[in-house]
Structure 1
Amino acid sequence: MSKSVLLLALGLTVAVLVCSIPVGAVVTPLPGQGNQTGILFGVHPNAKTNETITAFIAEHGEIWWHEGIYNHTHKYVYIVPANACEEQLVYLNKIADEHGGEPSIGNIWIIGCDEAMPLAAELTFPEIFAEYPALSNNADLRSYIENQSPNRYEEVTAKPSRTQVYFINDTGVFTEYIVDLSGGEVVSTTYVSEENLTVGRAEAEAQAISGQPPGARVENIVLKVYGGDQIVWEITVRADQKIDIVQVPSDLAPGQSLRTTPGFGAVLAAFGVGMSFVLYRKRR
């Protein structure tokens, strides 16, 4: 077959393929190509009927968008202005499941373009959420983890069936979310911030260190609530090989209150494993 005949045959083949595309069919463009708003509304039709989302797109014009992991039932959807970007819109989209649930839009945030949404609570602390699945059902706890970004947690067992989990943010203003569980179920929660207390973290640490040998340092600090109204800083101090656990009392500042839900209370026994320590109350 000559070269000219081969080219003619290829041309006819392409013509047949083009003509075989049904009239009105939508050819999905590659990522980054085509009308991104149209693609967004095609993939997520519920976004087209949300006034906040459509207003954001109308204000900023051309956009691009992408998805992020939240958990097995939800995704983050990011809508980012394609030109000068000072802010982006992020919304939480519930994914349709095999039980027939329809996709739905949850929270909507408008954040800076250089910001990233925090991981879902289950992804931030996977071990404790796997141990206590009931934590996933507490909306206030999820909000605390995802908005205040605690950097650690502590788990304390008071009785075989009763546990407290402390989610702690100690990177700036010290805040804490305390969850009481009985039989694996959440029975009460308490939120406390040092901003609401008469004795803040710095003062509590100074009191705990005073009287200790030179070189003593704070190794750990946690806020504990006893009997629903007694608040103490529990501070672990190390001096050489000696470890002391010091409790520095604090009170709520005038006009302040704990954000709490009813439960069996927050009375836990202090205990140590494999080390010698002294537990005492240091008064002002």
Structure 2
Amino acid sequence: MTRSLTLLAFGLILAVLVGSIPASAVVTPLPGQGNQTHILYGVHPNAKTNETITAFIAEHGEIWWHESTYNHTHEYVYIVPANACEEQLVYLNKIRADEHGGEQSIGQIWIIGCDEALPLAAELTFPKIFAKYPALSNDGGVRSYVENQSPNRYEEITSKPSRAQVYFINDTGVFTEYIVDLSGGEIVSTTYISEENLTVGRAEAEAQAISGQSPGACVENVVLKVYDSDRIVWEITVRAGRETDIVQVPSDLAPGQSLRTTTPGFETILAAFGVGMSFVLYRKRR
């Protein structure tokens, strides 16, 4: 009798506790407990409506997932197959978005190898220039270029006190560049350019710059510059002994090619990446 009363009391207490949980609250089991897909969709309902994410989960079946800090406004959400893991899905999610209220939160999406590391956030890759120009953090094109094409350096050129250009440069393979024009700290326009679109590539431009120089001359720096929106030149710094010389080698756009220039407020899709936080890099590994 005493045991029955005890069980009855426990049941009443449990019923009261369950009834007191708001309908909108998300009950998250401990790691490893429960259906991880259902838990993911409960915590991050926007994942359930994203075709790339749902297709990945449908293809791989059972999963586990976790979160990781990206910056003060966004986080990484990792979705990892629970069985044999050859690839994982990682997406950028806005931390304070009201997902249960229908607010969009998902930004970039990557499908990468399970042993592959994601690139650093743009602000962590070039902290000084992003701290100097906060507007760079708000431009989806800048973020996409830095985080997906991994430029190894940048250059800043100030023409007037209120005007500046920042060149993000990837010269480790095919030479690409993302040029940001700023006025008063705000982005006026951005331009993406690749040597693949030009009639004179980097190697040919360097050869021309060194030709005629004294023996032992070497290239110290290379930058692509755009003048008047249609004149493109390779600006090459050549060192010969103690002397340095800046040589400009003209280049033209190859037939059928055009500069990919964007102005804030207008949507333009660049060849190797998208502009805006909704950009999706979907790279299947087989």
TM-score by length of 2: 0.76
| C-alpha separation in 2, matches of 1:81 and 1:150 | 31
Deviation at 1:69, TM superposition (A): 2.8
Alignment map for 1:45-124 (pairs within 5 Å): 45-96=45-96, 102=103, 104-124=105-125
Alignment of 1:224-243 (within 5 A): 224-243=225-244
Aligned to 2:177: 176
The 5 A counterparts of 1:139-218 are 139-218=140-219
**Structure 1 contact 96–103 (Cα < 8 Å) conserved:** no
1:252 has 2:253 as partner: yes
Note the C-alpha offset of 1:120. 2.2
Q: Report how many residues are paired.
A: 246
User: Per-residue CA shift, 1:49-75, capped at 9, x if unaligned?
Assistant: 434323322321222222233221111
**Residue of structure 2 equivalent to 1:22:** 14
Aligned mates of 1:208, 1:52 — CA distance in 2: 47
Contact 1:70 / 1:120 at 8 angstroms: preserved in 2? yes
Q: Output the CA distance in 2 between the equivalents of 1:208 and 1:202.
A: 10
> Residues of 1 paired with 2:254 and 2:238: CA distance?
26
Aligned equivalents of 1:22 and 1:55: distance in 2? Answer: 38
1:117 CA displacement? 2.5
Conserved 8 A contact 1:95-1:103: no
Q: For 2:14, what is the secondary structure of its paired residue?
A: coil
Contact 1:234 1:248 in 2 (8 A): yes
Residues 27 and 202 of structure 1: CA distance in aligned 2, closer, same or farther (over 3 Å): closer
Call closer, same or farther: CA 1:256–1:50 in 2, change over 3 Å: closer
Q: Is the 8 A contact 1:93 1:103 kept in 2?
A: no
CA distance in 2, matches of 1:45, 1:221: 47
Q: Deviations over 1:174-199 (max 9, x none)?
A: 00011111111111211111001111
Identity over aligned pairs, percent: 81
The SS at the match of 1:248 is strand
Q: Which moved more, 1:73-82 or 1:163-172?
A: 73-82
CA drift at 1:97:
6.0
Give 1:241 deviation, angstroms.
1.3
Do 2:119 and 2:150's aligned partners in 1 also have CA atoms closer than 8 Å? yes
Q: Structure 2 vs 1, CA of residues 127 and 101 (structure 1 numbering), >3 Å: closer, same or farther?
A: farther
CA–CA distance in structure 2, aligned partners of residues 214 and 172 of structure 1: 26
Q: CA deviation at 1:157?
A: 0.5
Q: CA deviation at 1:32?
A: 4.8
1:222 is aligned with what amino acid?
Answer: V
| CA shift digits 1:109-155 (9 cap, x unpaired) | 32333333322222221211111111122222222222211111100
Larger relative contact order, structure 1 or 2 (CA cutoff 8 Å, min sep 6):
2
Length-normalised TM-score, structure 1: 0.77
Moved more, 118-127 or 144-153: 118-127
* Contact 1:96 1:102 survives alignment (8 Å): no
SS of 1:173's partner is: coil
Task: Give secondary structure in 2 for the equivalent of 1:167.
Answer: strand
Larger radius of gyration: 1
> Which consecutive residues of structure 1, in runs of 5 or more, have no partner in the other structure?
1-14, 264-284
Match of 1:220 in 2: 221
Cα distance between partner residues in 1 of 2:253 and 2:49: 46
- CA distance in 1: counterparts of 2:92 and 2:134, whole angstroms: 21
Q: How far is 1:258 from its partner? A: 0.6
The residue identity in structure 2 corresponding to 1:22 is L
RMSD between superposed Cα atoms in Å: 2.8
Please give the alpha-carbon distance, in whole angstroms, between the structure 2 residues aligned to 1:50 and 1:97.
16
1:229 Cα offset (Å): 1.4
1:52/1:232 Cα in 2 relative to 1: closer, same or farther (>3 Å)? Answer: closer
